[in-house]
Amino acid sequence: MAEEEESKKGEMEKRAIPLLTPHRLGNFNLSHRIVLAPLTRMRSYNFVAQSHAVLFYSQRTTKGGFLIGEASGISDTAQGYPNTPGIWTREQVAAWKPIVNAVHEKGGIFFCQLWHAGRVSDYSYQPDGQPPISSTDKPLTAEINGSSAADYPPPRRLNTHEISQVVNDFRIAAKNAMEAGFDGVEIHGANGYLLDQFLKDQVNDRTDEYGGSLENRCRFPLEVVKAVADEIGADRVGLRLSPFADYNDCGDSNPEALGLHMAESLNKYGILYCHMIEPRMITQFEKSETKLSLLPMRKAFKGSFIVAGGYNRDGGNEAIASGSADLVAFGRLFLANPDLPRRFEINAELNKYDRSTFYTFDPVVGYTDYPFLKLDTKTN
């Protein structure tokens, strides 16, 4: 009896924490609202996901938890960094299967993030040493992640008739992700990569139907959304956007209009969720004060709304309690705390993340060696 009371009490305490309340994400019953944000870790040698990722993802899996996989290249022109995974070859698809299985075995829901880097790439990542593709032929001008923009060569502007081929690459990659066992896909339309290079007016300088007006700039990303939704079902598709950010030298003169137009347009396709990065995240990792907000987009979009960027336990709880989001994705905190939901539940201290190992190639160090809470049998 005492045990029953204890467990009831535990349940009530849990309910009082907004991040730990359930959410129905389309057909998926999530047991809580703490999402693993997509995290590139550069440990997928030769663009193939590796067996050590089984441990990384399963450590971060809870029953009914939602995980978004790291950005995965959709084609042989999509890569721009060493050792990021792909999802365009049979070998890559097969390599993902045991990782997805491990997440499913623990009751997690796992989406694959589909990615094309566009001009954030160089000749060495491209077939036959060709220039990377983009909406534009302008190279990056800002300094990116400590490397100078000179490391990024001028891209080749896609011809109008080639765009449908890239749309098709996204479609096939989505099909591959389903074959690998993923529950759905998140299309990466954020952070200055290919889709964002079409969305943002400070990069997109096209004069065809894919450039100029807001509608035209959104055309290619929306074609990708439609193609992917037609292929695997809209109820398995999310889209990530960062209208306010200008990472990778990819800013827009009117991010509010851009974000709102996309949120409204997405309703036509009935996709599962829209995942937006907070305006305060001007650079990838630094927060800044701003009055700008994602609320207009949250209100306009009819599916589930995920927010990310600079959240901690309190901020996440506030976002859920106030209704400004359905789910909150955590990047760095989840990277460093494999048992983040449990730590939030009992308000435990958090491990600090080590930035120096974010993008190193070691299969263990800075990857799967962040400790779980001690003496907590529930988490291990």
Residue numbers of the site for ligand FMN (CB under 6 A)? 37-40, 70-71, 113, 188, 190-191, 240, 277, 281, 308-311, 330-333, 358
The Cα 145–Cα 71 span in angstroms is 17
Q: Determine the 3-state secondary structure of 357 from DSSP.
A: helix
329's CB contacts (< 8 A; 6+ apart) are 35, 36, 37, 38, 68, 275, 306, 307, 308, 311
Least distance to ligand FMN, CB of residue 80, Å: 11
Please say whether the beta carbons of 86 and 43 come within 8 A. Answer: no
Residue whose CB is less far from ligand FMN, 139 or 310: 310
User: From the CB of 353, what's the least distance to ligand FMN, in Å?
Assistant: 8
Burial of 45 (0-12, 13-18, 19+ CB in 10 A): middle
Distance CA 304, CA 284 (A): 24
Give the angle subtended at the CA of 91 by the CAs of 88 and 96, to the nearest 5°: 80
In angstroms, give the least distance from the CB of 111 to ligand FMN.
12
Paired strand residues for 287: 281
126/242 with CB nearer ligand FMN? 242
Minimum gap (Å) between residue 37 Cβ and ligand FMN: 3
32 close to 64: Cβ distance less than 8 angstroms: yes
- At 315, the amino acid letter reads G
Instruction: Tell the smallest beta-carbon distance from residue 316 to ligand FMN (Å).
Output: 9
Whichever of 41 and 236 has its CB closer to ligand FMN, that residue is 41
DSSP state of 109: E
Per the document, the length of the chain is 380
Paired with 304 in beta bridges are 273
- Residue 147: beta bridge partners? 144
Smaller CB distance to ligand FMN: residue 160 or 283? 283
Q: Select 55 or 208, whichever has its Cβ closest to ligand FMN.
A: 55
What minimum distance in Å lies between the beta carbon of 143 and ligand FMN? 18
Residues serving a catalytic function are 193
Measured between alpha carbons, how far is 133 from 130 in angstroms, rounded to an integer? 9
Tokens of 301: 């979009």
Beta carbon nearer to ligand FMN, 71 or 222: 71
Nearest of 80, 84, 136 to residue 113 by alpha carbon: 84
- Beta-bridged to residue 276, according to DSSP, are 241, 307
Residue whose Cβ sits closest to ligand FMN: 331
C-beta atoms surrounding 310 within 10 Å? 17
* 73: helix, strand or coil: strand
Task: Match 């995920």 to its residue by tokens.
Answer: 306
Does an H or E element contain 34, and which? strand 34-36
Q: Give the shortest CB-122-to-ligand FMN separation in angstroms.
A: 18
Q: Is 213 exposed, middle or buried (0-12, 13-18, 19+ CB in 10 A)?
A: exposed
Q: Is the dihedral of CA 332, 59, 41, 305 positive or negative?
A: negative
Looking at beta carbons only, is 81 or 372 nearer to ligand FMN?
A: 81
